[in-house]
Amino acid sequence: MRLPRQRLSSSLAEWPQLVPVPLDRTLRPVQPAILETRRLGDETWLFVTPSDARLARDALDRLGSAAQQAGPDVGIIYADNGRLRGRSVVALDCKPQLNPALLLAQDYIGFPTLIRGSAFKRLDGLRAEHGSAAWYDLCLRAWRAGIGFDRIAVTAIAIPRHAPLSTAADRKGVLQRFLQEDSTPFELRPGLVPGAFELRRVFASHPEITLVIPTRQSSPPGGRPYILDLLRSIEAGSWPLDRIRVLIGDDHVNDRIYREACTRLDLRRIVTTRMAGATFNYARKMNVLWRAADTELLVLMNDDMTVRSPDWLEALFTFALEEDVGGVGARLLFPDHRIQHAGMIGGLYGGCGHPWFDQPADRPTYGDWASVHRDWCAVTGAVFATRKSVLERVNGFDERFSLEFNDVDLCLRLKTLGYRIVYTPHAELIHYERSSRGQTAQPGEEVALFLRRWRDFIADDPMYNPQLVRRAEVQPQAESYTVGWG
């Protein structure tokens, strides 16, 4: 991914110095400062930013305009920031709208922040004992209190490249305290990249789940059927096998391969043969299968994959058990360890696409977004953890999307009902994508239906940022603008 063509790369002379009023001397090294307190209508708003930042000339006017237009539920408004390098303002930190899973992994909101005076008072201000993470702590408490957030995609300040938003040690203390106040037992683990954290649910007892797997017993040339390798890798996981049920939708009547597999899993098979000449409809097949499941917790998944992380199910259901989460997707790699799926972006290639597709899994990505759990607008249906009651609420997949778009359409319909869609890299699988059914052209009428339904939403994906490009770039450019797309 590369930053926009309208690059900053401007002289510091274009960015005035701040004249900050220190909020509290104990808050160094980040040194948040109230730059200005403004009366906007009947409300007082506080503009808060690091004291060593540079301010864009129109930043206060644009933020003030956003505050005046904000609904009464919005208490915090944040914006993008640039980075200082030498005498220039260079790369951007482009932020999504409120992204709870990302907020738990990273201090991504940072500065600048505009907060309503009444919200600041309701939260009892900053807690100086949290040091550099005091503002991060306030954001977490605001989220828990139901105070609304809004993001404007404006580069309002520039801060030194070396300036941390908050130290990992301070943020760890904040998160541990935050989790202790939750009735659900969670633990905090180190993330996959420096400074990031992983939230992990602690299971006193594992609930029963059903893995819903369609198959036609496909296999690589000269190899075993994909589904047998998948079942073997599931058996090696950490979720108790007596709490896993496997529901297979098989296009073949013959069940010999399962009888010879000697699996320890609780298998149930539904024969899903089609009428002669009938076309394959993935959405219809999956609707038959998930409705036949007899547990509330489900994982819909393709057969052409193997599990890499033994605790993949724990990672998925850390989020899929949350009432406001509609579905959770996994990190999927090709057999050569290139990225197949790490979330989906609305508007990419004019539709909804996979960022970092076919890029090495160990290559850095923008904001480390492929390596931390975060909310996206959609995830692939190749691995999709959800609840049966959620699918029942939206009547499952729209069967007019026979092969493509059905998973994205499902995710977007869930989002319109207020559900979150989460991606976690801590559930990782190898995916032999399309090996089991080959390449299939996208029917024109399905493309047209998808775009008619979702064009407006994907044009401004709230989990992305309009200051970032929506196309793949083959060759990276200068370091300031290279963020690991490829």
What is the distance of C-alpha 23 from the center of its chain? 33
Residue 356: predicted pLDDT: 92
* pLDDT of residue 324 exceeding 70: yes
CA atoms of 374 and 376, how far apart (whole Å): 7
Concatenate the DSSP letters of all residues of 19-41 into one string. --EES-GGGTTT-EEEEEEEEET
Instruction: Say what the pLDDT of residue 10 is.
Output: 54
Q: What is the DSSP string of 110-155?
A: -S-EEEEHHHHHHTTS--GGGGGGHHHHHHHHHHHTT-EEEEEEEE
What is the per-residue pLDDT for 89? Answer: 79
For the ranges 144-153, 212-221, 254-263, 314-323, the lowest mean pLDDT is seen at 254-263
Torsion, Cα of 298, 304, 305, 306 (10° steps): 100
Per-residue pLDDT, 96 = 97
Residue 419 DSSP class:
-
110 and 83 in contact (C-beta within 8 Å)? no
Beta bridge partners of 339: 333
Q: What share of the chain in percent tops pLDDT 90?
A: 66
State the pLDDT at residue 87.
75
pLDDT at 473: 40
Report the pLDDT value the prediction gives residue 12, as an integer from 0 to 100: 54
pLDDT tens digits, one per residue of 414-429: 999 999 999 999 999 9
What pLDDT is stored for residue 122 in this prediction? 94
On the 0-12 / 13-18 / 19+ scale of CB atoms within 10 A, 73 is: exposed
Name 420's bridge partners: 325
**Which is nearest to 188 in space by CA: 173, 176, 174, 171?**
176
Strand partners, 249: 214, 270
How many CB atoms lie under 10 A from the CB of residue 466?
A: 14
Measured CA to CA in angstroms, residue 56 lies from 40, 80, 110, 339 at distances of 20, 11, 17, 37
Q: What is the pLDDT of residue 43?
A: 84
Distance (Å) of CA 141 to CA 127, 128, 145, 147: 11, 14, 6, 9
What band does 411 get if pLDDT is binned at 50, 70 and 90? very high
Quick one: pLDDT at residue 343?
A: 97
Q: Is the peptide bond before 310 cis (omega within 30 degrees of 0)?
A: no
Q: What tens digit of pLDDT does each residue of 1-57 get?
A: 443 333 454 555 555 555 444 444 433 434 566 667 778 777 889 888 887 788 888
The pLDDT tens digits of the residues spanning 287-304 come to: 999 999 999 999 999 999
- Side-chain half-sphere CA neighbours of 357 within 13 A: 14
- Give the DSSP letter of residue 338: B
* Bigger pLDDT: 4 vs 240: 240
CA distances from 461 to 153, 373, 415 (A): 12, 18, 11
> For position 100, what pLDDT does the model report?
98
CB 18 within 8 A of CB 35: yes
Question: How far is Cα 35 from Cα 56, in angstroms, rounded to an integer?
Answer: 13
H or E segment and range at residue 339: strand 339-341
Least confident of 265-279, 315-329, 381-395: 265-279
Q: Does pLDDT of 455 surpass 80?
A: yes
Give me the mean pLDDT over the 199-227 stretch. 95
pLDDT at 434 over 70: no
Q: Are 138 and 126 in contact (CB under 8 A)?
A: yes
Question: Binning pLDDT at 50, 70 and 90, where does residue 316 land?
Answer: very high
pLDDT value of residue 429: 98
Assign 3-state DSSP to the chain and report helix, strand, coil percentages, each to 5.
Answer: 30, 30, 40
Q: What is the pLDDT of residue 478?
A: 26
pLDDT value at residue 476? 26
Residue 172 has pLDDT above 60, yes or no: yes
Q: What is the rounded distance in angstroms from the CA atom of residue 461 to the CA atom of residue 377?
A: 7
* pLDDT number for residue 436: 43
Coil, helix or strand at residue 190:
strand
Mean pLDDT of the 125-145 span = 92
For residues 248-256, average pLDDT:
93
Q: pLDDT band for position 191 (50/70/90)?
A: very high
Report whether pLDDT(123) > 70: yes
Quick one: CA torsion of 4, 164, 49, 94, rounded to 10 degrees?
20
C-alpha closest to that of 227 among 289, 298, 305: 305
Lowest model confidence (mean pLDDT) among 223-237, 258-272, 332-346, 468-482: 468-482
Q: Is the peptide bond before 220 cis (omega within 30 degrees of 0)?
A: no
Decide: 136 and 102 in contact? Cβ < 8 Å: no
45-85 pLDDT, tens digit per residue, is 988 888 778 888 888 888 889 999 999 999 999 999 988 87
Position 278 scores a pLDDT of 75
Q: What's the CA dihedral at 291, 292, 296, 297 to 10 degrees?
A: -100
pLDDT of the residue at 22: 44
Q: Characterize the bridge pairing of strands 148-160 and 186-190.
A: unpaired
